[in-house]
Amino acid sequence: MSLNVIALGGNAILETDPTDEGQKAVIKNAAKSIADFVENGEEVIVCHGNGPQVGNLLLQQKAGEDEKNPAMKLDSCVAMTQGSIGYWLQNALINEFAERGVAKPVVSIVTQVRVDADDPSFKEPSKPIGPFYSKEEAETEAEKDGSVYKEDAGRGYRKVVASPIPQEIVEKEAVQALVQAGVLAVCGGGGGVPVIREGNQLVGVEAVNDKDFSARVLAETIEADRLIILTGVDNIYINYNQPNQKALEEITVAEAEGYIKEGHFAAGSMLPKIEAAVGFVQGYAERKAVITSIENLKNISDGEGTTVIGK
């Protein structure tokens, strides 16, 4: 039996249908694969992304904002999407285990992740969130609260926030207790609610944590055997979409770092997954990181059709 942290992307949940029912349907299918994995004797903690979901929520907040109904700040919106997606996963997994007659408790946790107040990203925010504005509208919005707006791929101006490096799972003792009790916990959703420490207080900040980096911290915290990052393909590739494209199956940390330096992985998609995987494995001969699709989760124990990174 292995202890695994499974990281499920927010874009994998919101494929084409952004409705409540559409996303629930995707998660229901994902729950079947996760349940198969658990039935094979694996222990699991699940975390998830929330990029498109929190973006949609920010749009809804903005559209409905007025003096009596102010928009929630970003840390609250991250918590809100943690709650909704966590509920969908919790509900789907409980139902799937019930169908199989498997006695497996499941719970979702609204998780805070501490970041460093001095993280460089707070001085140079770069993560775009929320709606698009014209240059004039962006300048007006910026005057309201000092937020930073930048032009985004010729489509208009968007608010940009920090994406600091996650440092600590605040609720780590609770998560560890659940692991020891054999509970399947859903936590660290959307990278966790980013908080900084001020004295002995934790304070939410306008930032977005990367889900894959938070999953790495979570996996390290609970001393997981494997970090499993689920994406849209069975393997990662070098020379992707080129005639000499090659699927990677088993690679070392050194090989992965070499491919990173050669620029094989896009910064906005595969790169953070590779970096999180390398960070988890580095220095630990017994640890493995796996990057594959959710449909291929069943093949992880055999190592077939997946990318495995080891020391």
User: What are 250-302's pLDDT values in tens digits?
Assistant: 999 999 999 999 999 887 778 999 999 999 999 888 999 999 998 888 888 76
The one catalytic residue among 4, 9, 86, 273 = 273
User: What are 217-238's pLDDT values in tens digits?
Assistant: 999 999 999 999 998 888 999 9
- For residue 304, pLDDT over 80 is answered with no
The one catalytic residue among 51, 188, 189, 211 = 211
Q: What span, in angstroms and rounded, lies between the C-alpha atoms of 29 and 38?
A: 15
- For residue 153, pLDDT over 80 is answered with no
Which of the two residues, 130 and 21, has the higher pLDDT score?
21
The one catalytic residue among 24, 28, 127, 172 = 127
Q: Are 309 and 253 a contacting pair, CB within 8 Å?
A: yes
**Which of 7-21, 111-125, 230-244 is predicted most confidently?**
111-125
User: What are 117-132's pLDDT values in tens digits?
Assistant: 999 999 998 888 777 8
Active site residue 127: yes
pTM here is 0.90
Instruction: Collect all residues with Cβ–Cβ distance below 8 Å to 307 and sequence separation of at least 6.
Output: 235, 236, 247, 248, 249, 250, 251, 290, 291, 292
User: What are 56-91's pLDDT values in tens digits?
Assistant: 898 899 889 898 999 999 999 999 999 999 999 999
Active site residue 311: no
Active site residue 246: no
In 3D, which of 229, 237, 308 has the Cα closest to residue 266?
237
Query: How many CB atoms sit inside 10 A of residue 165's CB?
Result: 15
pLDDT of the residue at 1: 75
Q: What span, in angstroms and rounded, lies between the C-alpha atoms of 175 and 26?
A: 26
pLDDT of the residue at 87: 97
SS3 of 231-251: the string is ECCCCEEECCCCCCCEEECEE
Q: What span, in angstroms and rounded, lies between the C-alpha atoms of 145 and 237?
A: 43
Dihedral sign of CA atoms 307, 8, 197, 108 in order = negative
User: What are 168-199's pLDDT values in tens digits?
Assistant: 999 999 999 999 999 999 999 999 999 999 99
pLDDT of the residue at 112: 98
pLDDT of the residue at 113: 98
Nearest-Å Rg of the Cα atoms of the chain is 19
- For residue 154, pLDDT over 90 is answered with no
112-115/166-169 β-pairing: antiparallel
pLDDT of the residue at 141: 84
pLDDT of the residue at 164: 95
- For residue 303, pLDDT over 70 is answered with no
Enumerate domains of the chain plus CATH numbers.
3-115+163-309 (3.40.1160.10), 126-161 (no CATH)
Which of the two residues, 141 and 93, has the higher pLDDT score?
93
pLDDT of the residue at 251: 94
Active site residue 261: no
Active site residue 50: no
In 3D, which of 290, 284, 301 has the Cα closest to residue 249?
290
pLDDT of the residue at 131: 73
The one catalytic residue among 4, 9, 10, 130 = 10
pLDDT of the residue at 139: 92
